[in-house]
Amino acid sequence: MASKVFQVQAKDSVIKLNAFDAINAVQNLNLDPRFNEEYYTELGNVNFSAQSRQPETEGSFEVTATGSVAAMLARMNYNYATQAYAFDPVTKGNVFTFTENDMDEMIFDLINLKQPGTAFTDSTLVPNAQLTNLSLRIDSTGTGTETYRFVANLQEAFYKPYCDMVTVPLVTLTSGTAQVPGAYGINSGTHFLMYVFKDNQKFDNTQASFTGATTITVPTGLFTTTAPFDRVTAVLYRTPVGAFPTIYYPTSARFVRGDRADVWLIVSGTAGSDSNRLLRCQSVDITVPINSDKLTEIRRNNDQNTTYFRGVNFPLSITCNVVLTETTLQQWATLQGKLLNEAALSTPIDNNNRFNLADFSAMKLIVKYYVKGNESPLTTVTMDNIQITGFSERQQTGGRAERTLGYTGSQITIVGAAG
């Protein structure tokens, strides 16, 4: 017997990207529709004469760090040459590598599935989402986190029997047909078609249909038939509604804290080792802003939208902040490749004992996440050729002196591993 629903709790909600399994370690989801409305006036009329809209959705979700940021990005990274995601629905895993060059193709569909009162009845589709910001944080006393921000087409909510939905990347066959890849195990006998998207252009199920077990026909699709292709996706739903999705864990870690991470801040070109780890580090924050411009066109449509793509602006201005508990000046000297000399001559002043911000050179920041100590890292995040942009010191009663170093660069590499 169905229970009366008074609320939706965290236990009742999961997030999926595309047709992949539900994401693990999600702490929150924020969806903020923007209508971008414009009101029209005219002489002789005391009221607005009309309103137009160009709707879209901005949003974010935060996850507890589990060393699986590479797996998350793989579920977002679309390849226009192969019409597939980096993440495979069968092999899955966390063994992926991404750099700043990959950030302009982080395009995905987000689906929020809900079972209020334990009855799977609700879902929200946020189509054609594009990653706009990635933030990573690790500290010595708390738990690491990752935050993903995005902008997308306007969200739509669906009630049973449409709630058990997925979005699948299609492979173009002709200008009017595309196919569901066999790896997804989806066909006309398991799912019904709701929409087909060609990039941001939407075709509903009066304009698109299954014409074979895995073949979908869109007579007016005008799909590009040579690489690079369009991003063609199908929004499908299962009926009768199946089981509520299960969570997939790309790694065996369920959290990463300060005792399961290492940090290096070393001169660019230097390799990280146990001997040159950055000790006394309290926290590291890395922010990857993926700023983009809306590319628009004049095109008649029923979606109230003229955006056909969001082009990322390079180079990326990636920032990181490193907070240290202050010890001696050897801490500063190490960051500048100097060695303190207590026997220094009075004339001239030994440069090893003199410090200023001008002596900082290009640096490299490395952060590694582990399941536990002395194992291979699950994820390695490297920022190279970063330049110092901030240096502050704080002292106060009842506390300890701290230094905060701020760096900016445009190069980042994220390497995931099994574990």
Asked if residue 39 is part of any domain, the answer here is: no
Nearest of 157, 158, 232 to residue 201 by alpha carbon:
232
Contact 214, 188 (CB under 8 A): yes
Asked if residue 212 is part of any domain, the answer here is: yes
Q: Which domain holds residue 198?
A: 165-238
Q: How many CB atoms sit inside 10 A of residue 241's CB?
A: 18
Q: Are residues 232 and 356 in the same domain?
A: no
Please provide residue 318's backbone torsions phi and psi, each rounded to the nearest 5 degrees.
Answer: -90, 130
Contact 363, 266 (CB under 8 A): yes
Q: Are residues 273 and 412 in the same domain?
A: yes
**Structure pTM?**
0.94
Number of structural domains, the chain?
Answer: 2
Asked if residue 92 is part of any domain, the answer here is: no
Q: Are residues 229 and 262 in the same domain?
A: no
Q: What is the pLDDT of residues 51-74, one digit of tens each?
A: 988 889 999 999 999 999 999 999
The domain that holds 320 is classified in CATH as 2.30.110
The helix or strand, by DSSP H or E, that contains position 73, with its residue range, turns out to be: helix 69-74
Report the mean per-residue pLDDT for the chain.
93
Q: Are residues 281 and 361 in the same domain?
A: yes
Please state whether the peptide bond connecting residue 127 to the residue before it is cis, i.e. omega within 30 degrees of 0.
no
Which regions of 290-378 does DSSP assign to beta strands (E)?
Answer: 292-296, 307-312, 318-325, 363-369
Asked if residue 229 is part of any domain, the answer here is: yes
Asked if residue 133 is part of any domain, the answer here is: no
| Side chain identity at residue 240, one-letter code | P
Strand partners, 152: 57
Residue 3 has pLDDT above 80, yes or no: no
Q: Are residues 283 and 384 in the same domain?
A: yes
Residue 1 has pLDDT above 50, yes or no: no
Q: Are residues 317 and 382 in the same domain?
A: yes
Contact 151, 310 (CB under 8 A): yes
Q: What is the pLDDT of residues 359-416, one digit of tens each?
A: 888 999 999 999 987 789 999 999 999 999 998 889 989 888 898 999 999 999 999 9
Asked if residue 272 is part of any domain, the answer here is: yes
Q: Are residues 263 and 412 in the same domain?
A: yes
Asked if residue 251 is part of any domain, the answer here is: no
Q: What is the pLDDT of residues 200-238, one digit of tens each?
A: 899 999 999 999 999 999 999 999 999 999 999 999 999
